[in-house]
Every structure is written in C-alpha cells, then in structure tokens.
Chain A
Amino acid sequence: MPHALDAAKEDRRQRAVESLGLQLDRPEERFDRIARLAHLVFDVPMSSVTVLDGDRALFPGMYGLPGRELPRVDCLCDETHAGGALMIVEDASLDERFAHLPAVTDLGIRFYAAQPILDPAGNVVGTFAIYDTRPRRLDAERLTAFDDMAAWAQQELVASTEMTQATWVQSSMLPARALSSDSWTINGMCLPSLAVGGDFYDYGIAQGVAHLGLGDVMGKGTGAALVGAGVRSALRGTHSAVVAGVDLGVTVTQVARSLMADLERTESFVTLFEAAIDLDDGYLRYVDAGSGLCLVVRPDGEVVRLGGSDAPIGVLPDDHWGELDVQLEPGDRVLMFSDGLLDLVDEQVRWWEPIGALVAAHDDVNSLLAGIALLARERTPLDDVTAVAVYYAPSPAPLSPSQEDSP
C-alpha cells in the first residue's frame, strides 16, 4: 500500500505529476547534475530527485543509487510526500517509519534528508533527497545549501523562465472584462494547467451582434500557445464581416485556409467553437469545428447540445465548414468550454448532464465561472480549463393582477 494519503489528495498529486509532461522513465542530465553536485557539496554517497508515479518511485535524477525505480512503498521519499515538509532523519535504523525498508536493511542507509518539490499550485510533485550510510546531521550552513539545491531542483522540475513568461503573455491576450447589457452578460476565463497551453477565447460586440469564439490547439507548450495566438488574430480579422452578417461557415473556412500551412508545419490542429448572437432577438449562429462543447441550458433545465459534424481545423487541407443556428429565448444560458472541463467531471460519456446541471445551478455568469474554477482547484486539471458563458436575462414577469383589481 502506498502511504495512506487520502484518495482525493493522491489523485490530485498524480495529476499534477502527469501535467508536468516529463518522460520519467529515462535519466535526465539536468536532474542527474543536481544529484552529482549534492554528492560533492554534502559529502554523501547517494542523492536523488524523486518523483512518485502511481505505485512506483522514480529517480529521474540520481547519484550512487543502485537503480532508477523502486516500489513506492519501499521508498523513503513516500513519507516526505505525505508530510509535505522538510524531513531530516539522523539515523533511519532507529526510526520505526523507516527501519524496516530495504533501503535501510540492505543498502545500509542511515541518514536521510529530503525537501518536497512543489508545483505552483502547492502540490507535492517530487522530492530532492540526500542519503548517507553513516548517521549524521546537517549544520546551519549545509541546511541553507540544502534548501538552495532543493529550490534548484524545483525550478528544473516544474518551471522554466520561458514557460512563466509565456503564460503571462498568453493570459494578457484574453478579454479583460465581462460584457453586459440589460439583457445579456458575457464573460470568460482560462485556467492554464501547469504549462502554458493552447486554449484561447475571445469575444466582442459591435452593431448589436456578439461575436464569440473558443478554441483549443492540440498539445501544450509555447508552440501550442503561439498557434493559438495566430488563430485568435485570424478570427479577429473576420470580426467586422461576422457582425455585418457574413456566414460564419465562410469566415471560418477562410481562416482555416490561411492557417493551413502553419498548422501543417507544426503538425498541429485546432478545435474551435465560434458563434454570433444577435442581441436584439437572441438568434445564434455557430460553427462547430470539432469542438462539440457548447450547451444551451433552458430555464426549465433542459440541456441542448450545440454541435455539428465538421472536423477540426488543420486536419484535411480542402475541408470546409458550415453555419448552423439555434434560437435563444430569454432565460437561456449558453456555456462553451474546452475539453479540460470534461476531464473534471466524473461522467465521461453523458458529460453534458453534470455540466448542464452546473450551469443551471448558477444564476449569474460570474458565479458559474467561479464554480468551474473551484472544480479545477479541487481536481488538478491535466489540461487548460477554458469557458465562456452567455446569459440571456429572463424577461420581466408579466404583472400579475393586483388584489384590488380582482373581481
């Protein structure tokens, strides 16, 4: 049995590890380098950068250990993962948590020090550890050095300057504020997973028409984000045509043609849901390019899925896209979202039921988006979670005849 972390915490930890996107099974020089240096700095025969993957403990970086994988239950670091804090054990053979482990009985480990490695959301995704066959302690100076090296390991494992920078650039490109009028409220959000991702959304109003789009570029990383930024600008370029009433199938097909070469080169494709809503009468036109992730939730709780049969952009060079439509009535709510949200609900086959219920349960756009953010915090998303919500205010209730007027 792995250490008795509760199931939700363990699920979250495993997802956080997976979202790092590391190839854990092979040695990585940048982690080995840290372990080698730790061997010199602390004069210890063994050191590791440890990551737990399911019931295995892996050492993507190590010095002096006999192998790169252990059953998790046999790994000293399982305890540090569970505790989530710096652990220093002067003599493991005298500690009942560790004395029985093969690392102690067979390898002869006595001294053990480990610092948890955290991702930006605070999940423990690994440990940096040193081991010695003699009981010992760390003086204040060494303890500081140990903290420094753990910080280095954390930097290597979870972050790079490029990624942090790209995340900032990406989020600064999204619409900054909600749009609202007497009858309509529109707002969106994007919660990037650990790495910068390929989701984007956009919305704008002109000439009484709201033009909205939400897309997801295959894969993650700076490459996907750059492709996403390109698609977003191309769609923006069609804004004036769309609000003037040009068929969305025509504009999306144009956008797809202009992006095809870039998408071919980067071996990528894009799923897109794009819509234009006439704010006077609630007539909604849309194109579904392989997204299928848009729901209309009616005041009586009925959930209508908006989806077509057109493929994502970038799959086939001579594809084309068609416009579909639906009539919105006062009180209707629309939610378009990326597949990162699908991953957060338990019902994978009839996913529109829990997500429709979520929409029905929130009476305004911002509380719905907060509800989705909460879901994402509870279950570390593997993918970006992006959503745009449109609420059409219910028409004022007809005045009921007052008591005085009753016969």
Chain B
Amino acid sequence: MTEFHVDTTASGIGVVRPEGRLNMVAARQLKSVLADLVAGGTHRIVVDLADTSFIDSSGLGALIGGVKSTRQQGGDLRIARPTEAVLTVLDLTNLTKILRPRDTVDGAFDD
C-alpha cells in the first residue's frame, strides 16, 4: 500500500513523498493530494520519488495532471530523486522534457 508524506517548506513549496508502488490505486490518491495542495494555494510542488519503487501510466498521469494544474496557477510541479525503475519509465515515455528529474528536493526550484 502506498503512503504519502506531505510537507510544506518555509518558502511555501509543497513536498509530496509517495512510498512504494505508484500504480492505478495510488495514482488516484496522489491526484487528490495534489489537487488539495493546489486548491489550498500551494502552486509550487516537489514530488520526491526517492521511495517510489514503481510507476505506471496512471502514476505518470497523476504527475502530468499536477504539472498542468500548477502551471495554470503560475506555479510548477517538479520531481526529485527518481529511482532507477522510475527513471526508466520516464525515459521510455520521453517525459523527462516535461518532468526533468532534479537531484535534490531542496534545490528543485532553484532554477
């Protein structure tokens, strides 16, 4: 079962850390976590993928949905520290242009 840790940093950036498999069931949860953050006024979000062991197309869909909804509000969603398995999927689907992996959570919004 996937768990989600949600924090907000001092500079107002939302940090979401899914643990485990980001499959169809977990993607639904992630989608609502992201929607809640955006609705609550957090428009800059980092999804920390360090503990995400697996992602499927539904998981990617939740991330892309987050990119779209944050950008509509003038913010962005960025991903940090993807595992090798997750990176493989991002590479395959050519999504690293839109979801460029960042090395650290703290530095994800530095550029």
Which residues of A pack against B, CB within 8 Å?
A: 18, 21-23, 25, 53-54, 216, 218-220, 267-269, 271, 288, 290-293, 307-312, 315-316, 339, 343, 348-349, 351, 382-383
Contacts and interface: CB of A to CB of B under 8 A. Distances in A.
Contact of A315 (B25, B64, B88): B64
Contact of B58 (A53, A219, A271): A219
A348 B24 contact: no
A339 B57 contact: yes
Contact of B94 (A218, A219, A310, A382): A310
B88 A21 contact: no
A219 B95 contact: no
Contact of B93 (A18, A21, A53, A290): A290
B56 A312 contact: no
A53 B20 CA distance: 14
A291 B93 CA distance: 5
Contacts of B91: 292
Interface of chain B, main secondary structure: helix
A292 to B, nearest CB: 4
Would you list the 3 A-B pairs with minimal beta carbon distance, nearest first?
Answer: A292-B92, A290-B93, A218-B61
A349 B25 CA distance: 24
A316 B23 CA distance: 22
Contacts of A307: 92
B23 A18 contact: yes
Contacts, number: 75
A382 B94 CA distance: 22
A219 B57 contact: yes
- Report the contact-size class of chain B (Cβ under 8 Å from the partner): 20 to 34
Interface in B12-67: 23-25, 27-28, 56-58, 60-61, 64-65
A18 B25 contact: yes
A269 B24 contact: no
Given A220-B24, A349-B84, 7 more contacts: A21-B25, A22-B25, A267-B61, A271-B93, A290-B95, A291-B92, A311-B93
B92 A311 contact: no
Name, among A25, A216, A311, A349, the residue most crowded by chain B CB atoms within 10 Å (CB to CB). Answer: A311
B10 interface: no
A348 B94 contact: no
A315 B65 contact: no
20 contacts: A21-B24, A25-B1, A218-B58, A219-B24, A219-B27, A219-B61, A267-B61, A269-B64, A271-B57, A271-B93, A290-B94, A309-B97, A310-B94, A315-B64, A315-B95, A315-B98, A339-B56, A349-B85, A382-B23, A383-B56
A340 B41 CA distance: 37
A351 B92 CA distance: 11
B65 to A, nearest CB: 6
A311 B1 contact: no
Nearest to B67: A315
A268 B60 CA distance: 10
A288 B94 contact: yes
A130 to B, nearest CB: 27
Nearest to B29: A23
Given A219-B57, A348-B85, A316 B94 contact: no
Nearest to A338: B57
Interface string B59-93: 01100110000000000000000001100110111
Contact of A53 (B1, B57, B84, B98): B1
B95 to A, nearest CB: 6
Contacts of B95: 290, 311-312, 315
A292 B91 CA distance: 9
Contacts of A351: 88
Nearest to B59: A218
A203 B60 CA distance: 28
Contacts of B88: 348-349, 351
A292 B95 CA distance: 11
B61 to A, nearest CB: 4
A311 B57 contact: no
A337 to B, nearest CB: 12
A401 to B, nearest CB: 49
A54 B20 CA distance: 13
Given A268-B61, A271-B57, A292-B92, A311 B84 contact: no
B36 to A, nearest CB: 16
Interface string B96-108: 0110000000000
B98 A311 contact: yes
B49 to A, nearest CB: 15
A308 B94 contact: yes
